[in-house]
Amino acid sequence: MHYIYTHASNPKSKHKLKLTQLTMTKSQITLAILFTLLTFIDVSTSSSNVFNVVSFGAKPDGVTDSTAAFLKAWQAACVSAYSATVMVPTGTFLVKGITFTGPCKSKLKFQVAGTVVAPADYWAFGNSGYWILFNRVSKMSLVGGTFDARASGFWACRKSGQNCPPGVRSITFNAAKDVVISGVKSMNSQMSHMTLKGCTNVAVRNIKLVAPGNSPNTDGFGVQSSTGITLTGSTVQTGDDCVSIGPGTRNFLISKLNCGPGHGVSIGSLAKTLNEDGVENVTVSNSVFTGTTNGVRIKSWARASTGFVNKVFFQNLIMKNVQNPIIIDQNYCPTHQGCPTEHSGVKISQVTYRNIQGTSATQQAMNLACSKTNPCTGITLQDIKLTYNKGTPATSYCFNAAGTNLGVIQPTSCLNK
């Protein structure tokens, strides 16, 4: 048994969480051990094994194209027989679309002390889909620095309805293994700030992802087809999901997250295609949601799918003026145009909501709208206290959702038993 005491980041907040007894699954224990091990990955190097991008021709003036210099520094470090560091010193460096390819011969640290900026011309990326891509790297760390995609022009193009490029993700890790990402700040992304796809054993801590609340589709942290991921002690303030959890995600632990503005933590959207992998063993704990459009959400399109959501724990969470603190939406269709008319094939089971407190900006604080043909099963509500800001009692809504109630549930539970 484990006991966790969590309180609001504001010591004057009246929404203080109580001491909660938690039973950790074997998978959660494994994640905790994994995070500890990754914390101590040895990325130390001697001074002679530091590859400074300036030595390869990069200019810290924010104007000169330093893309080739960054790539040369990476390539030199990557073939080193000993642990190496790529160093980006103080200053501002202009970098266009770039791919850092691994695996490298030895452990590698990518240390950023300065700021990396993208081209102001949002057409410069074409249809590539990425700005900075780490492909098939292993046993590396990305530490520090600010990455500014300067996407205000791109957002304006999108909002105007003009012909615009598809946009790029700022920092992408593809098929990476045994990686630590620490102290990184990403600003003003065109699309997602940071994305992991097909990755294994990645520890992400103390990052900050920032874009205006009205910036379109600027997801914060996205994970898909990955396993053994931890995200801790981070702040995400964006115009879309703070964290997006896609198909094929397993063993993902999120803790001490400050989310808002944004759309909350979302599993999905799922059922985009018929043959789709599931989401399993996800934990979101000890986190605060402020002014978000959703708190913790599971969303799927209303169409056939082989997908599923299983063994999910939302626990020890504070909601501050959140529009939909607890929501399952299996009729997801954000534009309300051309929506599918089937029933979602995604099977949702064993989802626990435990010790969630705070205020809802809408009267309906809990909305569990499950599939007509695939009911949500094994839902657990335990120690829920959500109030409506207007002084009116909060309400709950359920459709085809069954499970168990434990402790005090406010608003009153609507689960089928």
- Catalytic sites, residue numbers: 263
Residue count of the chain: 417
Distance from C-alpha of 309 to C-alpha of 346, rounded to nearest angstrom: 7
* Residue 399 structure tokens: 């459709």
Pairing of β 169-174 and β 243-245: unpaired
Residues 6+ apart with CB under 8 A from 402: 375, 376, 377, 378, 379, 415, 416, 417
- State the residue for tokens 């839902």: 379
Distance from C-alpha of 223 to C-alpha of 219, rounded to nearest angstrom: 11
3-state secondary structure the chain: CEEECCCCCCCCCCCCCCCEEECCCHHHHHHHHHHHHHHCCCCCCCHHHEEEHHHHCCCCEEEEECHHHHHHHHHHHHCCCCCEEEEECCCEEECCCEEEECCCCCCEEEEECCEEECCCCHHHHCCCCEEEEEECCEEEEEECCEEECCCHHHHHHHHHCCCCCCCCEEEEEECCEEEEEECCEEECCCCCCEEEECCEEEEEECCEEECCCCCCCCCCEEEECCEEEEEEEEEEECCCCCEEECCCCEEEEEEEEEECCCCCEEEEEECCCCCCCCEEEEEEEEEEEECCCCCEEEEECCCCCCCEEEEEEEEEEEEEEECCCEEEECCCCCCCCCCCCCCCCCEEEEEEEEEEEEEECCCEEEEEECCCCCCEEEEEEEEEEEEECCCCCCEEEEECEEEEEEEEEECCCCCEC
Is residue 338 within 8 Å of 377, Cβ to Cβ? no
